[in-house]
Structure 1
Amino acid sequence: MEIIARITADAVVKTTKNEKQVVNFNVAINDSYKPKGSDQLIKTTNYVQCAYWVNPGIAQYLTKGTLVELYGRIGVNAYNTLQGEAKASLTFHVNNIKLHGGNKPTAKPVETFAPVIAGELTEPLDDLPF
C-alpha cells in the first residue's frame, strides 16, 4: 500500500523490551470529493499512525510538515481498556520512506541596516515606495 501525506509532529524513537528500536510518527492525508448531485467540494483529513522498524536514524528527517511517500502494510491493534471496553486502532507498518520536502524554509541571506538616529531623515515620509 502507498500513502503520500504530511507528518503532523516530529517522529519519536522508542525502544521495545527486546531492545529493538521503532520510529513512531503520524501523518495527515488530505482528500476532497463532490457528493453525487452536488457542486460543493467536501474536504476531509484522515490521520494515520505509522511505525518504521528498519532504521531509527531517519527520525531526524521526519519532522512536522514534511511531505513523505510511504510504502507498507496496515496492521490492526486490538486491546481492552482498564474499564474492560474493547478498542482497536490501525497502524501503518512502513517498509520504505521517500522524503519529498521539508517544512524548513531555505536559508536566506541576512541583511544588516545601519541604525537611524532621530532627526537624520532627509526624505519626506509620503515619498515611500509602498
Structure 2
Amino acid sequence: MEIITGRLTADAEVREVSESTKVVGFTIAVNHSYMSGEQRREIARFFECSYWRNAGIAEFLKKGDVVQVFGHVGCRAYVTKDAEAAAALTFRVSEIKLFSSGAKHANAGEPANETGDLPF
C-alpha cells in the first residue's frame, strides 16, 4: 500500500457506473523539489484517483484542499487527440484523510457578520 499527500486540482466528481455503483474521481497534485547544482527545481506529479467506497465524501473534496490517500499506484496509457502516445498515473484509493475540509468553502460567498458593538 502506498500513501500520497497533495492538493486537489478540482472538486471531486461522482460517476455512476451501474445502478448500484458510484465512483468518486479526483486528481491530486504532488509537488517535489530538488537541487540541480545551485538551483532549486520543482516538479509536480498528478495522480488520477478513484474511490469506490462512499460517494458521499465527494462533497468534502474541494479544489485546493490538502488530502492524504492510501491505496495503490497504477498507470494508464492512452492516445491524445493529436494521435500522440501519453500516460497518466492512477491511484486506486482505499482510504482518504482530509487535512482541510470543504467546510471553509460553504461560507465563502457570505459576508462576515461585523457589528460595531462589543458583546460586553
The TM-score, its normalising length taken from structure 2, stands at: 0.76
Bigger radius of gyration = 1
Using the alignment, how far apart are the partners of 2:82 and 2:20 within structure 1?
30
Residue 69 of structure 1: SS of its match in structure 2?
Answer: strand
Counting aligned pairs with the same residue, the percent is: 40
RMSD between superposed Cα atoms in Å: 2.9
Contact 2:70 2:94 in 1 (8 A): yes
Q: Which runs of 5+ in 1 are unaligned?
A: 114-130
Tell me the CA shift for residue 42 of structure 1. 0.6
The equivalent residue for 2:72 is 73
Using the alignment, how far apart are the partners of 2:81 and 2:64 within structure 1?
34
Q: Which runs of 5+ in 2 are unaligned?
A: none
Relative to its length, the structure with more strand (as a share) is 2
Contact 2:7 2:30 in 1 (8 A): yes
1:6 aligns with 2:7: yes
The equivalent residue for 1:97 is 96
Task: Tell me how many residue pairs correspond in the alignment.
Answer: 111
The TM-score, its normalising length taken from structure 1, stands at: 0.70
Using the alignment, how far apart are the partners of 2:31 and 2:77 within structure 1?
26
Using the alignment, how far apart are the partners of 2:92 and 2:43 within structure 1?
23
1:110 aligns with 2:113: yes
The equivalent residue for 1:22 is 23
